[in-house]
Copies of this chain bind each other. A is one copy, B any other.
Amino acid sequence: MNRKDISHRLTTIEGDLVQLAGPRHGFHLVTLQRGKQVQTHRGVIDHDDLIGQQWGSIVKSHSGNPFYLLQPSLSDILKSTKRNTQIMYPKDIGFILVTMGITPGVRVIEAGSGSGAFTSALASMVREKGKVFSYEILEDKQKLAKENIHKLGLDAYVEFKQRDVRFGFDENDVDAIFLDLPNPYEYLYQVQTSLKNGGFFGTVLPSSNQVIKTLLELKRNPFAFMDVCEIMLRYYQAEPDRFRPTDRMVAHTGYLVFARKIIKEEQIINSEN
Interface residue ranges, A against B (CB under 8 Å): 4-8, 10, 21, 23, 54-58, 66, 68-75, 78, 90-91, 93-101, 103-107, 121, 124-125, 127-130, 173, 175, 196-200, 206-213, 215-216, 219, 224-252, 255, 257, 260-263, 265, 268, 271
Contacts and interface: CB of A to CB of B under 8 A. Distances in A.
Contacts of A252: 244-247
Give the one of A7, A78, A100 with max B CB within 10 A. Answer: A7
A55 B196 contact: yes
A212 to B, nearest CB: 5
Question: What 5 pairs between A and B have smallest CB-CB spacing?
Answer: A56-B197, A94-B94, A56-B198, A55-B198, A249-B251
A121 to B, nearest CB: 7
A90 B101 contact: no
Nearest to A217: B240
Given A55-B198, A70-B198, A90-B95, A248 B250 contact: yes
Contact of A231 (B129, B233, B263, B268): B233
Given A232-B234, A234-B232, A216 B240 contact: yes
Contacts of A271: 57
Nearest to A259: B238
